[in-house]
Amino acid sequence: MAEQQLSTMTPEYYDEDDDYLNMTDDHTSSYATPCSYQITFEFAETFIPVVFILVFVIAVVGNVLVLCVVRRYRRSREGPCSYSLTDTFLLHLAVSDFLLAMTLPFYAIQWAKGWVFGVMGCKMISAIFSVNLYSGILLLACISFDRYLAIVHVVTAGWHRRSCHAQMACAVVWTACLGLACVDVTYQTVIPLKHSNRQVCYLVFPEKTNWHVVLPMVNLILGFGLPLLVMLYCYIRIFRSLCHASRWQKRKSMRLIISLVSIFLLCWAPYNGFRLIEYLNRLNLFQLGCEMNKALDIGTMISESLGLTHCAFNPLLYGFVGVKFRKELLIMWKGLLCSLGYQGLEGWGMNQQRRRRSGTLSTDSENTSYFSVIM
């Protein structure tokens, strides 16, 4: 999403307030000494491609495993509403993180060689990036709210919570993110870098619009502030409701809650903090010097890369943490080995399949979620 986009999408070094953004060869600086961003470019060209490719590989592998398990062992047998609520949200989260990860190689190439995918490619990749970046964060808020209803209001909300409701909530999230991504489709374009033969995919607003003022705040609220408040409220209430649980269960739940919130904050708070400083600077509420602008640019790049690692952490936090998920993943892995010729494992795999069919997995879908976070 546009102005809120990461620097991989909109190289903020060409701030509209700087003469630096003038892509012509006529340099008319308002400073006594022009501010050189060569060090910033060199850092970006080295740092971003390596980190993005690494995140791409880890995120794709983790989310593909989540999708394989949920599709193999939780296939619908009674229509579109037969998935549990938690599984529904996590299925959508895995799709969102997978699609987000698929856009990262394009930006790695942009910083290594320049944007080579054309204007339509710029608009499409930017829109896909925006939709999945913010849908993933909003889905995390949905998951925390679902766990809140399941644990804190388990009696009163039991008959209300159906997976069709989760499907509708996911549809609202996707629709809202698609609406915000229309800004990318409209205003993203390819521009040349000054004193360089490279091009970048960049968001350019018309002078008479207020998008450059409104959009960053909308993205900050929807992409960080609102989800964080929902997660904090829901997990605090969940923890308080577990005070009467056994000491082991309480300790385990506390560790998991702290991990979920801490990693979300660690990944996204620094990036949104840098973006807020940059936004206030653009509004001329304060002025940063040349060196401070360079530090802000580099800090934004590092923090945005840290934020994108969240799509690689999500399978670990919301999938692999589940005992049933790990069991089903092991069964799937053993079955794959058997199909490849490891016949000694075939009997073990068949026994596990029979145990799975006759065990607790045949009970109510809400109680048999392979991905339940806190249950």
Please check whether residues 286 and 362 belong to one and the same domain.
Answer: no
| 6 class by beta-carbon count within 10 Å (0-12 exposed, 13-18 middle, 19+ buried) | buried
pLDDT of the residue at 161: 58
pLDDT of the residue at 141: 94
Asked whether residue 374 is assigned to any structural domain, the reply reads no
Helix axes 118-151, 85-113, angle to 10 degrees: 150
Please check whether residues 350 and 260 belong to one and the same domain.
Answer: no
Asked whether residue 138 is assigned to any structural domain, the reply reads yes
| Angle subtended at Cα 370 by Cα 367 and Cα 375, rounded to the nearest 5 degrees | 50
Q: Note down the domain range covering 360.
A: 328-369
Residues 25 and 373: their CA atoms lie apart, in Å, by 56
- Low-confidence residues in the chain, pLDDT < 70: 1-34, 72-83, 154-163, 195, 244-251, 322-323, 335-336, 339-375
Please check whether residues 177 and 46 belong to one and the same domain.
Answer: yes
**CATH classification of the domain holding 308:** 1.20.1070.10
pLDDT of the residue at 87: 80
Residues 308 and 312: their CA atoms lie apart, in Å, by 8
Asked whether residue 375 is assigned to any structural domain, the reply reads no
Q: How many CB atoms lie within 10 A of CB 61?
A: 12
Please check whether residues 189 and 282 belong to one and the same domain.
Answer: yes
> For the residues of 83-134, what is the DSSP string, one character each?
S-HHHHHHHHHHHHHHHHHHHHHHHHHHHHH---SHHHHHHHHHHHHHHHHH
Contacts of 225 (CB under 8 A, 6+ apart): none
> Is there a contact between 267 and 289 (Cβ–Cβ < 8 Å)?
no
Residues 304 and 309: their CA atoms lie apart, in Å, by 9
Structure-token match 């980190």, residue found: 51
Asked whether residue 247 is assigned to any structural domain, the reply reads yes
Count the domains in the chain. Answer: 2
332 φ, ψ to 5°?
A: -65, -40
pTM of the prediction? 0.81
Please check whether residues 333 and 316 belong to one and the same domain.
Answer: no
